[in-house]
């Protein structure tokens, strides 16, 4: 578990994050909210991807469906928005279950491709059903409760929800279930032989991942008050995978770091040039060359090596 | 534990890089432009930006507006609305711009418009044609500086009502824009000419490259006329297919912007003749000294002829400048008031921003593509001018949508 | 629709299939033999189309220009890919599969912006060569563009050539062996590194070829790289990795389900190819034909 020193650092980080809206201007509050929700999106992707060994290549389906679920409940029904915030992720989780049941019989790249095909069907329906979903224009001006409609309010909401979600994900990974899941990733045959129900474990991972992706989608609705069909498109899924790989897919916080890097670099670089994609591409190449396990992966390796050296010295 | 430390350092470092909030000199007017500068839409957005730049340089050379120069900064959203919205927020909250402009992507336009409303910031749309922008989702702070789908459709309907065709087929790109144009043309045509019949419809995915399956279907149905609702690169793709399959000789068809420079120039002399279209600007028509001067200057600066978006960008800058001048101060509420109903001389005559809905009143030109020995590309022939009052939706109709 | 209509739709779906097949076969080779998920494949396709535009213009913009572009553009793409492979890829074969996605994705970003820097944002057009302008009347008199007929002839020719290359030449056999067990191949003294380079270059050559062939029928624009990348991946998966006939079969399924789907349900015709993929993967999870891994 996390050491005492670790806990102190975490509390310090949380404190800083809580104080941010009081010291930084609006834009940074907004940017942090965006980083938090994309971080959650990427981290939920990494549950099956990095820790489950499942090629979760179209995670955006759950993110987008969660967002649309929330948006549609708010704009088309009289239910309380707070209820909508819960319904969105639940719909995403349900979709995760359905798609999971279909895809789970395949493995590796084939799983990923089947997920992409099914996801594209979902996208096509959302995209074409303009009367209900607004088609390619999306839905705009979604109203959220006053307490979270300001930039600060939205930020705190995102911080709380993301924090809670990450805590849950952390506990899941450290639980017997989570350890079994990682065992399945490392050696599915052996896991099956010691009695682990591989399929059920994987399916549960998909449902949990989908739920939190839907949660991230809901946060997007709160922070930006819009939804677009692009949120269900495979390019966003690829971005999520990239965030995981960039940050370090074998680490817990790697995807969050990856998300932060991409959002910050993109925002920062685009003030100087329209060729921000080129810059991102070059940075990715440098990372894969020199940091094969992602940025945080490299940091962890460094830490482990130092620890080994320190241990050896004793 | 060390991880958290490293993360914290990285965060602070990245943020430190960032907190250099750009200095907004108090004596400039800053315009923030979010648009797509990579991807198929670039052909149009680049012209809008260049037209804007041209006007701004001329205005600044003459001393600026009320003693202040106009400054602008651009962001490339790469046709992704969530990035576009984030960039718009960055422009307003970090760059502290006075005015927002841009967005060819309708999703972005609507999202940014909503944001602009909350921020009480004037937002000028260069090239997104969704009629929702000043219609259903319109508000005080948004200005549409190019035509919208409802206007284009009505203008086409005005022209088609005079033609003898009865049996129609509708086809197009299966997205909002395509359906909006097709609906606008068809609904208005039916009103002015109730006898027209719709034999069927074909809708293909955006970016479709192979139209032959659809064209064979259409030819088999034998309509008198075909309404084709394509946008962007679909325009050229369809025209190429129409020529290759001989459709253009068998069934006359119409596309909005079929006869516009952006569609015809890339195809050079190979573009099909006999395609009907509507456009809101030609650099070669009307052949007035003002238009020629504008086109020549654009050519001199950018080594190409201006498309319709070039005119839009140019006029937007001029309206912003004149609006502030008329208001007498650099204040956005005063600017909006000054712009409502303001009419300016343009390369194609006086253009006005309609007060009730902030829509720029542009003339529409209906014509058919034909070869011209003077140019390497086809031009619009048999051109009729349809003035705004003949086809624009009335203020009542537009404001009713805003409920 | 009647039988004639169906026949027409089938024929017409086939010409799009050819482009899909060519691009997918290239990706199949790269994924099947080198195990690299080449997300940049679409970018190479786009670069092929742009180089074709430049070559075509350079040589007068007429027929001569087209034929030169047909040979020159894929070669240009091949050279670019060779540079990328020797310069960067060859050091990274041992990396995790998924990390290679990061690499090829990075390339697609870089290429996407480079194309804009080199060629600018305006639409470009490559004219159909004079000899292929016009159309032939098909069943029932419906017009079939001559250029599409040309594509339909190219398809099988390229398929056969590729099959010969992969199955009957020495290099093809070595490549297939290396796909299964690269260490063994290296142990018998063969320079596996160069074999991989050759396969990679051929795969990218095919992407460029697809770009050239499609250029006269569409407007050559930025953003072309996104139009068929997902379709190519799906085709490769359902066809069987590294399998040329598999790529052809997959492309046929894709092209035909789309053009027939349009007849059945015009508004949602686009979903039929994806449905077909779902069906194939559920019943034949490793692809229809043999894969290399």
Average pLDDT over residues C50-58: 92
Cα separation, A153 vs A136, in Å, equals 29
Measure CB to CB from residue B236 to each of C125, C133, C134 and give the nearest one.
C125
Measure CB to CB from residue C221 to each of B40, B212, B214 and give the nearest one.
B40
Element (H, E) at C127: none
Cα separation, B124 vs B95, in Å, equals 17
Cα separation, A277 vs A269, in Å, equals 9
pLDDT of residue C120: 86
Residue A8, pLDDT > 90, answer no
What 3-state class would DSSP assign to B361?
strand
Cα separation, A17 vs A29, in Å, equals 10
How many angstroms separate the CA of residue A47 from the nearest CA in chain B? 19
**Top-confidence range, A110-119, B18-27, C176-185:** A110-119
pLDDT of residue A312: 76
Q: Are strands B349-353 and B167-173 parallel, antiparallel or unpaired?
A: unpaired
Q: Which of A288, A293, A295, A298 to mutate to test the interface with C (most CBs of C within 10 A)?
A: A288
pLDDT of residue B43: 86
Q: At what angle do helices A198-224 and A60-76 cross, to 10 degrees?
A: 50
Degrees to nearest 5, angle at CA C73 with C68 and C77 = 155
Degrees to nearest 5, angle at CA B57 with B51 and B59 = 105
How many angstroms separate the CA of residue B351 from the nearest CA in chain A? 29
Give residues with Cβ within 8 angstroms of A204, minimum separation 6.
A177
Put residue B372 in one of left, alpha, beta given phi > 0 → left and psi -120 to 50 → alpha: beta
Q: CB distance C105–A238 less than 8 Å?
A: yes
- Interface confidence, given as ipTM, is 0.89
pLDDT of residue B343: 95
Give residues with Cβ within 8 angstroms of A176, minimum separation 6.
none
Residue A113, pLDDT > 70, answer yes
pLDDT of residue C289: 87
Residues in chain C: 293
Average pLDDT over residues C35-57: 93
What's the per-residue H, E or C state across B144-202?
ECCCCHHHHHHHHHHHHHCCCCCEEEEEEECCHHHHHHHHHHHHHHHHHCCCCEEEEEE
- Mark which residues 296-335 of B lie under 8 Å from C by CB: 304
pLDDT of residue A174: 93
| Residues of A in Cβ contact (< 8 Å) with B234 | none
DSSP tag of C16: H
Q: CB distance B3–A303 less than 8 Å?
A: yes
pLDDT of residue A301: 86
Which residue does chain C place closest to B241, by CA atoms? C217
How many angstroms separate the CA of residue A280 from the nearest CA in chain B? 14
Give residues with Cβ within 8 angstroms of C161, minimum separation 6.
none
| Residues of B in Cβ contact (< 8 Å) with A267 | 18, 86-87, 90
Nearest CA to C284 out of A206, A53, A100, A113 is that of A113
Other beta carbons less than 10 A from residue B390's beta carbon: 12
* Model confidence band, residue C34 (pLDDT cutoffs 50, 70, 90): confident
pLDDT of residue B16: 61
Which residue does chain C place closest to A233, by CA atoms? C230
The pair of three-digit structure tokens given for residue A74, joined into one six-digit string: 């708010």
Element (H, E) at A260: helix A254-270
Q: Which long-range contacts (CB under 8 A, 24 or more apart) does C189-198 make?
A: C193/C90, C195/C171, C196/C33, C196/C34, C196/C85, C196/C90, C196/C93, C197/C82, C197/C85, C197/C86, C197/C90, C198/C171
DSSP code string of A135-192 = GGG-B------GGGTSHHHHHHHHHHHHHHHHHHHHHHHHSHHHHHHHHHHH-HHHHH
Q: CB distance C274–A114 less than 8 Å?
A: no
The pair of three-digit structure tokens given for residue A10, joined into one six-digit string: 């975490």
Nearest CA to B84 out of B74, B94, B96 is that of B74
Q: B137 near B148, Cβ under 8 Å?
A: no
Give residues with Cβ within 8 angstroms of A24, minimum separation 6.
none
Cα end-to-end distance, chain A, whole Å: 24
The predicted-structure confidence for C231-288, as pLDDT tens digits, reads as follows 899 999 899 888 889 999 999 998 888 878 777 776 677 788 899 999 998 888 888 8
Cα separation, A226 vs A244, in Å, equals 25
* Model confidence band, residue C128 (pLDDT cutoffs 50, 70, 90): confident
| Residues of A in Cβ contact (< 8 Å) with C109 | 277-278, 280-281, 284
Average pLDDT over residues A91-104: 95
- Mark which residues 70-89 of B lie under 8 Å from C by CB: 79
The predicted-structure confidence for A231-285, as pLDDT tens digits, reads as follows 999 999 999 999 999 999 999 999 999 999 999 999 989 888 888 999 999 999 9
| Residues of A in Cβ contact (< 8 Å) with B73 | 271
Element (H, E) at B367: strand B364-370
DSSP tag of A227: B
Residue C1, pLDDT > 60, answer no
Q: CB distance A124–C92 less than 8 Å?
A: no
DSSP code string of A9-68 = HHHHHHHHHHHHHHHS-HHHHHHHHHHHHHHHHHHHHHHHHTTT------THHHHHHHHH
> What mean pLDDT value characterizes chain C?
86
pLDDT of residue B10: 64
pTM, to two decimals: 0.90
| Residues of B in Cβ contact (< 8 Å) with C214 | 209
DSSP tag of C143: E
Q: Does the beta carbon of B222 lie under 8 angstroms from any beta carbon of chain C? A: no
Q: Which of A23, A140, A221 to mutate to test the interface with B (most CBs of B within 10 A)?
A: A140
Q: Which of B216, B247, B304 to mutate to test the interface with C (most CBs of C within 10 A)?
A: B216
pLDDT of residue C219: 82
Residues of chain B with pLDDT under 50: none
Q: CB distance A30–B114 less than 8 Å?
A: no
């Amino acid at each position: 578990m996390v050491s005492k020193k670790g806990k102190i650092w975490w509390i310090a980080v949380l404190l800083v994050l809580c104080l941010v809206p009081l010291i930084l201007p609006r834009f940074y509050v907004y940017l942090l909210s965006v980083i938090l929700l994309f971080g959650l999106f990427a981290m939920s992707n990494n549950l099956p991807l990095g820790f489950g060994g499942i090629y979760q290549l179209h995670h955006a389906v759950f993110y987008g469906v969660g967002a649309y679920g929330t948006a549609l409940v708010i704009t088309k029904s009289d239910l309380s928005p707070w209820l909508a915030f819960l319904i969105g992720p639940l719909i995403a989780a349900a979709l995760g279950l359905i798609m999971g049941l279909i895809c789970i019989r395949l493995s590796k790249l084939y799983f990923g491709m089947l997920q992409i095909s099914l996801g594209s069907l979902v996208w096509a329906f959302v995209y074409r059903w303009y009367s209900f979903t607004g088609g390619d224009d999306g839905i705009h001006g979604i109203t959220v409760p006053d307490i979270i409609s300001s930039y600060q309010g939205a930020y705190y909401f995102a911080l709380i929800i993301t924090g809670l979600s990450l805590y849950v994900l952390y506990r899941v990974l450290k639980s017997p279930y989570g350890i079994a899941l990682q065992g399945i990733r490392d050696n599915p045959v052996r896991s099956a032989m010691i009695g682990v129900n591989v399929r059920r474990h994987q399916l549960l991972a998909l449902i949990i991942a989908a739920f939190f992706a839907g949660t991230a989608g809901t946060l997007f609705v709160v922070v930006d008050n819009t939804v677009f069909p692009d949120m269900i498109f495979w390019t966003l899924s690829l971005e999520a995978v990239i965030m995981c790989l960039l940050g370090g897919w074998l680490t817990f916080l790697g995807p969050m770091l990856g998300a932060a890097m991409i959002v910050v670099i993109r925002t920062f670089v685009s003030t100087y040039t329209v060729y921000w994609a080129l810059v991102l591409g070059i940075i990715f190449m440098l990372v894969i060359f020199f940091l094969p396990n992602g940025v945080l992966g490299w940091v962890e390796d460094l830490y482990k090596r130092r620890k080994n050296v320190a241990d050896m010295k004793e | 534990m060390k991880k958290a430390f490293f993360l914290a350092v990285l965060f602070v470092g990245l943020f430190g890089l960032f907190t250099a909030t750009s200095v907004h000199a108090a004596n400039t007017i800053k315009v923030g432009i979010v648009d797509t500068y990579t991807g198929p839409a670039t052909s149009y957005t680049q012209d809008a930006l260049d037209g804007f730049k041209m006007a701004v340089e001329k205005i600044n050379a003459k001393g600026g507006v009320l003693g202040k120069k106009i400054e602008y900064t651009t962001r490339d959203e790469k046709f992704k609305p969530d990035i576009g919205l984030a960039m718009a927020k960055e422009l307003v909250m970090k760059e502290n711009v006075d005015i927002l402009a841009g967005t060819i992507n309708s999703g972005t336009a609507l999202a940014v418009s909503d944001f602009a409303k909350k921020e009480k910031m004037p937002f000028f749309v260069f090239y997104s044609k969704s009629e929702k922008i000043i219609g259903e989702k319109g508000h005080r702070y948004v200005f549409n500086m190019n035509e919208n789908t409802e206007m284009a459709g009505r203008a086409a309907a005005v022209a088609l009502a005079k033609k003898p065709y009865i049996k129609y087929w509708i086809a197009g790109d299966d997205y909002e824009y395509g359906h909006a144009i097709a609906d606008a043309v068809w609904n208005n045509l039916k009103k002015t000419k109730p006898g027209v019949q719709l034999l069927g419809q074909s809708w293909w995915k955006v970016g479709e490259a192979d139209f032959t399956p659809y064209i064979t279907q259409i030819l088999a149905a034998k309509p008198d006329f075909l309404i084709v609702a394509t946008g962007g690169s679909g325009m050229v793709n369809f025209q190429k297919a129409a020529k290759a399959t001989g459709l253009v000789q068998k069934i006359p068809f119409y596309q909005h912007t079929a006869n516009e420079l952006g569609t015809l120039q890339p195809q050079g002399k190979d573009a099909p003749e006999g395609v009907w279209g509507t456009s809101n600007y030609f650099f070669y028509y009307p052949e007035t000294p003002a238009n020629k001067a504008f086109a020549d200057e654009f050519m001199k600066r950018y080594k190409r002829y201006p498309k319709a978006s070039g005119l839009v960008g140019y006029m937007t800058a001029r309206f912003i400048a004149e609006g502030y001048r008329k208001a007498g101060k650099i204040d956005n509420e005063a600017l909006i008031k000054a712009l409502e109903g303001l009419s300016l001389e343009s390369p194609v005559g006086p253009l006005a921003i309609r007060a009730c809905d902030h829509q720029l009143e542009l003339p529409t030109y209906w014509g058919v593509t034909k070869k011209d020995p003077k140019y390497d590309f086809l031009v619009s022939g048999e051109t009729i001018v349809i003035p705004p009052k003949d086809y624009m939706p009335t203020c009542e109709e537009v404001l009713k949508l805003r409920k | 629709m009647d039988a004639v209509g169906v026949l027409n739709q089938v024929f017409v779906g086939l010409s799009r299939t050819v482009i899909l097949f060519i691009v997918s076969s290239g990706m199949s080779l790269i994924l099947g033999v080198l195990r690299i998920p080449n997300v940049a494949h679409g970018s190479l396709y786009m670069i092929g189309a742009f180089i074709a535009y430049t070559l075509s213009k350079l040589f007068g913009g007429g027929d001569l220009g087209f034929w030169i572009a047909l040979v020159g553009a894929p070669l240009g793409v091949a050279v670019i890919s060779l540079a990328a492979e020797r310069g960067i890829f060859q050091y990274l074969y041992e990396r995790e599969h998924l990390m290679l996605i990061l690499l090829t994705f990075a390339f697609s970003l870089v290429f996407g912006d480079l194309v804009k820097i080199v060629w600018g944002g305006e639409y470009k057009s490559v004219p159909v060569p004079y000899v292929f302008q016009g159309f032939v009347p098909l069943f029932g008199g419906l017009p079939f563009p001559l250029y599409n007929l040309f594509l339909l002839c190219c398809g099988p020719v390229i398929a056969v050539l590729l099959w010969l290359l992969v199955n009957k030449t020495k290099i093809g056999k070595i490549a297939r062996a290396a796909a299964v067990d690269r260490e063994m191949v290296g142990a018998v003294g063969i320079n596996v590194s160069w074999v991989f380079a050759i396969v990679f270059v051929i795969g990218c050559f095919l992407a460029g070829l697809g770009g050239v062939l499609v250029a006269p029928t569409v407007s050559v624009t930025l953003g072309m790289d996104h139009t068929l990348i997902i379709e190519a991946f799906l085709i490769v998966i359902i066809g069987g990795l590294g399998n040329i006939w598999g790529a052809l079969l997959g492309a046929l399924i894709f092209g035909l389900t789309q053009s027939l789907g349009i007849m059945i349900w015009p508004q949602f015709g686009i979903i039929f190819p994806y449905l077909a993929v779902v069906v194939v993967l559920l019943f034949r999870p490793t692809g229809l034909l043999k894969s290399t891994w």
